[in-house]
Amino acid sequence: MPPTLLHLETATEICSVALSKGDKIIASLCLDKGNSHIEHLFPFIEQVLTESNCKISELDGVVLSIGPGSYTGLRIGASAAKGICYALEIPLIGISTLQSIVFGAIRQQKEEKNVLYCPMIDARRMEVFTALFNENGEVVTEVDNKIIDEHSFASELENHIIYFCGNGMPKCKSVLQHPNAHFIDAPLEAANMLLPALAKYENKQFEDVAYFEPFYLKEYIAKKSVVKGL
């Protein structure tokens, strides 16, 4: 039987939930409202299950976008996913948020060959969380946080067309001036995780529900309170 998987995306300002059966997305919801995950995540889960006539007990696994990204968003997504997996005794499948962006971009480019994809997640100012991926969605450089300037990715751009995408891409567009630098709007959605999630499900590459932590990349720094007296 093809697996029924619940997909959760909360790593950035996007709150997105999808339900898949085998290799098909059968319901999905997405909201770009910023900092609304705690308000909308569980209602979205309930809605996609209702629309699909699927009981939560019928789930075979939960797929989670694990970062890098927003500390708060990642914590909310991880708590929800772990709670469902623990209660139902089903596996948790973690997918890199950067890889999720890439699979959304690949769908737009129709399997173009000999290109690279550079997903970017905004990390304030000219800093982004990023890595390079090939046309199959496989990582070719390690995930890192980078300050982007006119020299970034210079050697890679000499040899490959690079598709830059993600919510950190627009602010970098003006400084990455090269004929091989292409920029595409690939929305971050839970449905993007389907293909890598199926591969991990088939290979039983699951997270340890008890000890799993999202991939923050950078340490969380609490902001100083602006409330008088605190």
Cis bond before residue 68 (omega within 30° of 0): yes
Question: Residue 1 is encoded by which pair of tokens?
Answer: 């039987």
Residue type, 62: V
Question: At what angle are helices 71-88 and 37-51 packed, to 10 degrees?
Answer: 40
Give yes or no for residue 122 having a pLDDT over 60. yes
Quick one: pLDDT at residue 222? 42
Q: Which strands make up the sheet holding 24-32, listed edge to edge? A: 24-32, 14-21, 4-9, 61-65, 92-95
Dihedrals phi, psi of 125, to nearest 5 degrees: 50, -130
Residues 125-151: tens digit of each pLDDT:
999 999 999 999 999 999 999 999 999
**Can you tell me the mean pLDDT for 174-196?**
95
Strands (E), the chain: 4-9, 14-21, 24-32, 61-65, 92-95, 115-122, 127-130, 144-147, 161-165, 181-183
Q: Bigger pLDDT: 91 or 35? A: 91
Quick one: pLDDT at residue 134? 96
Question: What global pTM score does this model have?
Answer: 0.92
The residues with which 164 forms a beta bridge, in sequence order, are 118, 183
**Can you tell me the mean pLDDT for 68-85?**
96
**Can you tell me the mean pLDDT for 73-95?**
97
| Cβ–Cβ under 8 Å, residues 79 and 85 | no
